[in-house]
Amino acid sequence: MDFKDIKELIRVFDKSELNKLRIKEGEFEISMQRGFEGGVTTVASSPMVPVSAPIQVATTQATVSSTSTASEDKTTPTTNGITINAPMVGTYYSSPSPDSPAFCGIGDTVRKGQTLCILEAMKIMNEVEAEFDCKIVEILVQNGEPVEYDMPIFVVEKI
């Protein structure tokens, strides 16, 4: 599926009355769900389409080396642990809408596959999911703040 097909699929989904749609074709998979302020939530992954690269949560040690990027000034973890980093550039949202409760908070235990936050990029809401069972130790980003690729957003302890 190419970018043109994906755009058309999103347009058709947006005009339909469907709430969820999931298509899997070989290694390509796209899921869409209505939810964030009536918008369309889209998560697409395919190694063949660079625009919709896989959204993966990277883990690293919370200690920041001297070769870190410019985001080091904003996000130096104060607690030892594992960080969950932003899989893409976007705007961080802790909940699906301003009136909804946050997906997770400090001290919460989350399970593998559970949504941690939403990163908005180009009006598309991308859910960031936990790659493993863990406990949230620290949230390093405030709601509505921009995040950079590979920027630490959570400090967690593996369970």
pLDDT digits (tens, 9 = 90+) for 13-23: 777 777 777 78
Spatial contact of 112 and 128, defined as CB atoms under 8 Å apart: no
Q: What is the 3-state secondary structure (H, E, C) of 89-125?
A: CEEEECCCCCCCCCCCCCCCEECCCCEEEEEEECCEE
The region of weakest confidence among 40-44, 69-73, 123-127, 149-153 is: 69-73
Q: What pLDDT is attached to residue 72? A: 36
- What pTM was computed for the model? 0.51
Span 90-129, pLDDT tens digits: 999 999 988 999 999 999 999 999 999 999 988 889 999 9
Buried b (16+ CB within 10 A) or exposed e, 14-45: eeeeeeebeeeeeebbbebbbbbeebbbbbbe
- pLDDT level of residue 26 (50, 70, 90 thresholds): confident
Spatial contact of 54 and 131, defined as CB atoms under 8 Å apart: no
76 and 43 fall within a common domain = no
HSE of 135, CA atoms in CB hemisphere, 13 A: 7
83 and 130 fall within a common domain = yes
Print the domain residue range for 67. 59-158
How far apart CA 58 and CA 82 sit, in angstroms, is 10
Q: What pLDDT is attached to residue 10? A: 79
Helix, strand, coil % (nearest 5) of the chain? 15, 40, 50
Pick the residue with more confidence: 28 or 63? 28
Q: What pLDDT is attached to residue 31? A: 79
pLDDT at 69 over 90: no
65 and 104 fall within a common domain = yes
Q: What pLDDT is attached to residue 130? A: 92
72 and 14 fall within a common domain = no
95 and 144 fall within a common domain = yes
Tell me how many domains the chain contains. 2
- pLDDT level of residue 56 (50, 70, 90 thresholds): very low
48 and 94 fall within a common domain = no
43 and 64 fall within a common domain = no
Question: Average per-residue pLDDT in the chain?
Answer: 75
105 and 133 fall within a common domain = yes
* Best CA proximity match to 105, nearest among 146, 156, 48: 156
| Domain edge (last residue) among 31, 52, 73 | 52
pLDDT at 79 over 60: no
